[in-house]
Structure 1
Amino acid sequence: MRNKSMLAKFAALLIALPLLATSAAAFQQSASPVGRWKTYDEDTGKPRLIVDVYEAKGGTIAAKVVETLFAPNAVCTECNGAAKNKPMKDMPILWGLKRDGDEYTGGTVLKLANGKTYKSKAKLLDGGKKFEVSGCLGFICKHQTWTREN
């Protein structure tokens, strides 16, 4: 009798595992990058910014600086045009990303360190706890991984 009970539990587990895996995959696909993220300096690895990723017009994904961790009143000295010497706080740094399967593509990212913009793509990692943002010039891309704050 005990063997039948164990066999029934094992069979139920075998049925449940694919369902759980499917649910986890569906959750990963439906996860959204919307929220607050911490960015890191690419040279030192130290936290640099807190950014707010949000859904913009047309369902695109964008991000703006909420807080500068390296200097409270930092300005973008390297930016051009209207952004030159403006506070980094509330400055848009990522815009135009559109969901494309498991990735977000077709966007633009502003690198505050040099004031230049690059073609951008991004994807969620680690069950939505990390957001890998890439800035590309032609086929050469640099990646930065942001960590979720909330």
Structure 2
Amino acid sequence: MKILIYAIGFLFGNLVSSQEVFGEWKTIDDNTGLAKSIVEVYEQNGKVFGRIKKILKEDKRDVRCVHCKGDQKNQKVEGMLILKDLSKDKDKYEDGTVTDPENGKTYDAKMWLNEDDPNVLMVRGYLSFLYRTQEWKRIDD
């Protein structure tokens, strides 16, 4: 009986953890559909952040954010914090920002897991009523 209880607990624990936004995600290029980078999404002091852990194209790994402002200006894109200060609100994370290192612009952000596939993270950057949503794919451990 104890084994059955442990097995159910283990399966339930894995199901719950797979429903979280935390972990590593592949960003996908909107135009080509190819993976561009790996972003690590994590929680710190009750807020959610995301850092570019790795750029997948080796020849792009030393690229710097020349169009960024402030402390991100000329920072290496690999290692850059691009998601900042998101707060959980029910099944979404919002009220934070996302920086596009290609153009250096920072947008209001929200993100959520795709209802049909929790291995897809929907990341939306928006300015007023204009927005763009990307699908990031979970990296399996």
TM range, smaller chain:
0.7 to 0.9
Residue matched to 1:39: 27
Residue matched to 1:49: 37
The 5-angstrom pairing of residues 53-68 of structure 1 reads 53-57=41-45, 59-68=46-55
Partner AA of 2:19 in structure 1 = A
Equivalent of 2:128 in 89, 113, 138: 138
Q: CA deviation at 1:60?
A: 1.3
Q: Distance in 2 between matches of 1:30 and 1:75?
A: 33
1:74-104 CA deviation, whole Å, 9 max, x = no partner? 2112212222221112110001111111111
Equivalent of 2:56 in 69, 75, 79: 69
Q: Judge conservation of contact 2:94–2:111 (CA < 8 Å) in 1.
A: yes
Q: Judge conservation of contact 1:29–1:102 (CA < 8 Å) in 2.
A: no
Residues paired across the two proteins, number: 124
RMSD: 2.0
Distance 1:64 1:29, change over 3 A: closer
1:27-84 CA deviation, whole Å, 9 max, x = no partner? 6798211100000122222211101000022x11110010011312221122122222
Q: Percent identity?
A: 36
TM-score normalised to structure 2 length: 0.80
User: Unpaired segments of 5 or more residues in structure 1?
Assistant: 1-23
Residue matched to 1:111: 100
